[in-house]
Amino acid sequence: MHLIPALASAPASTATGPDALAARLAQVEPSCGLWDALDVEHLSPQGRLDALVAAERHFRHAHEVVVRAWAAMGRNNDPELDPVGIGLAGVEAATALNLSVQGAEVCLYEGERLARLFPETLSALGAGQVSWRQVRSLLNSTLNLDEETARAVQAKVLPRMHRQTPASTVKALRRAVLALDPAGAARRHQAETERRCVAVRPQEDGMAGVIPA
């Protein structure tokens, strides 16, 4: 998101450098610059389409910044400083963002794995070329693979990801994993078959549902 125009309303600071900029950005009201002045209700059909495309690209770019921030936090974290295992920085982030400890743990893990193992996919997210749903599908599809194989899966799928729907990306990832790790795919299928079951879980209004577990 383009936040710089709103900096004029931030409190003055005598500090300089990236920390000072981050502090100012954290204090200003959220802004998308010229986007805030766009009257979407009076756009033509083509105008609405252009607005959606551009806004989605900006959203993806902002998401890359978020992921890189989590990754940097994880690299400088010391899990021994707190009893829940995500480090003091993780606990502070969870508190500041109203996240559960589990939610912060997921963000730290995703940020670290993306920045270290899939920097090309993370850059594609920042360029607005792929969606977060596609990025997360890559993460989930490679959870049980060694790092070399996971990188090979990315190499097979990423070049076409920008032209795919999230569902098409999932299918492409399944094909890539099966081609690159057929033995592992067979083991995972057998393990899932053995643990297959259904469960009854409570739902709203005093109802219950039978779902796969």
Number of domains in the chain: 2
17: left (phi over 0), alpha (psi -120 to 50) or beta: left
User: Is position 146 within any domain?
Assistant: yes
| 56 and 113 belong to one structural domain | yes
Positive or negative: CA dihedral 151, 157, 161, 167 = negative
User: CA 9 to CA 15: how far, in whole Å?
Assistant: 16
| 53 and 90 belong to one structural domain | yes
| 161 and 144 belong to one structural domain | yes
Q: Nearest 5 degrees, angle CA 25-CA 28-CA 31?
A: 90
Looking at residue 38, its pLDDT comes to 87
For the cut 60, the answer to whether the pLDDT of residue 7 exceeds it is no
Name the average pLDDT for the chain: 82
| 90 and 173 belong to one structural domain | no
User: Is position 2 within any domain?
Assistant: no
Looking at residue 9, its pLDDT comes to 44
Looking at residue 1, its pLDDT comes to 38
| 162 and 182 belong to one structural domain | yes
| 64 and 109 belong to one structural domain | yes
Find residue 201's DSSP bridge partners: 209
Domain enclosing residue 142, as ranges: 131-188
| 90 and 71 belong to one structural domain | yes
User: Is position 28 within any domain?
Assistant: no
At 170-206, the pLDDT tens digits run 999 999 999 999 877 656 655 555 555 556 667 776 6
What is the mean predicted confidence (pLDDT) over 140-154? 96
| 42 and 110 belong to one structural domain | yes
